[in-house]
Amino acid sequence: MMHNAIELAIQRGWRIFPLIHRSRFSKEQPLLREATSSIDKVEEWLEQYPDCPWAVATGEESGVFAVEFSRDSGIQTMRSLCEDDFSAMDTLQIRTTKLVTMFFRWPDNELPMFFRGQIAEGISIRHSGDYAWLPAEAEESGGEYMYSNSTESPKEAPGWLLNLIDQKSSKDQPADVIPFPPARTSTRYVALSFVLRDDRWECNFISMEDGGMIVKTLHFRSSKAVELLIERGGGAMNAPNRKWFYGSLRSGGGNIILPLTNEQYGKLLAA
C-alpha cells in the first residue's frame, strides 16, 4: 500500500526508490540508478519490498538537493554562518533525533560536480548520485524520520549556503582533484569522494564517464583504510599529496581522481 509520504514525493516529481539495504552505512543501494516517479513502478516495488524504507534520489532529475545539519554542531554552525538569514528554516524538512535534513530546489547553475560531503562542521550535502531518506509516513507517526511540515515545498537555497558550497569547493579544488600519474595500462578514471559520517568513512566512487554516477560506495572505520584504498588505486602518496590528504581527513572529507586499470575497476565493482 502506498503511504502518503511516497504519494507526496511522486506529486513533487521526485525520483524515489526502496532502500533494500537499510543501514545508513550500507555499501550501496542497488535501486538508486532506477529511481523513478512512475506510479506503476513504485507500486511494483511496494509489492516486491513491502517492509523497506524509501528515499529520494537527490540531484537535477528530482529537482532538489538536501543539506543535513547535525542537531548539535550543525545547527550551531548554521547560526554562526547565516548572518541572521533564517529563510532556510522555511523549507521542507525531515527531522530525526540527531539530524535535520533540509531540501532545496536544484539551482539553475547547478552545484560543483565532484564536491560531496561535509561543507562545514556538522553540515553535509547530498546531491547528484546521492539520496536522502523519506519518512515512513508524511505526518508524525512515531517513526524515526518525520517531516516537520509535510505541506512545505523545497525553497531556493539561501545565498549564504550556496556561497559556502562554492567557497568550500573552490578552496579544495587545487589540491582536491589530484590527477595522480596514471600507469600506461590505466583506462578508467574514477573520482573518489570520501567523507566522515558519524564514526565511519563513506567512500563514493564516481564515474567520470557516466555523468557523475556513483558506481560503488564503501565504508571504513579508520582513516588508515582510506589511505590504503587511495594507494591501491594509483594514488602516489608523495609528501605534498600526503600533506593534502591528512588535511582533508582533519576537515572531514575530500575528493581525488584515481586512474584505474580495467582489472582494478572490475575489482572495485565486485568489492
- CATH value at residue 148: 3.30.2250
| 10 and 55 both lie in a single domain | yes
Contact between 71 and 99 under an 8 Å Cβ cutoff? The reply is yes
Question: Of the residues 115, 144, 169, which one is the last residue of a structural domain?
Answer: 169
Amino acid at 227: E
pLDDT > 90: percent of the chain: 26
> What's the pLDDT tens digit per position in 193-202?
888 887 788 8
| 160 and 207 both lie in a single domain | no
Question: Of the residues 114, 141, 169, which one is the last residue of a structural domain?
Answer: 169
| 204 and 260 both lie in a single domain | yes
| 124 and 161 both lie in a single domain | yes
Total domains in the fold of the chain: 2
| 143 and 243 both lie in a single domain | no
| 223 and 146 both lie in a single domain | no
183-187 long-range contacts (CB < 8 A, ≥24 apart) are 183/234, 183/259, 183/261, 185/261, 185/262, 186/234, 186/259, 186/260, 186/261, 187/260, 187/261, 187/262, 187/265
| 195 and 151 both lie in a single domain | no
What does pLDDT average to over the chain?
79
Q: Does residue 232 surpass a pLDDT of 70?
A: no
What is the distance between the alpha carbons of residues 220 and 198, in angstroms, rounded to a whole number? 11
CA atoms within 13 A of residue 230's CA, in its CB half-sphere? 28
pLDDT value at position 181? 44
| 211 and 231 both lie in a single domain | yes
| 113 and 146 both lie in a single domain | yes
What is the distance between the alpha carbons of residues 179 and 102, in angstroms, rounded to a whole number? 34
Residue 261 belongs to what domain range? Answer: 177-270
| CA end-to-end distance (rounded Å), the chain | 35
pLDDT value at position 17? 96
Question: Of the residues 169, 204, 225, which one is the last residue of a structural domain?
Answer: 169
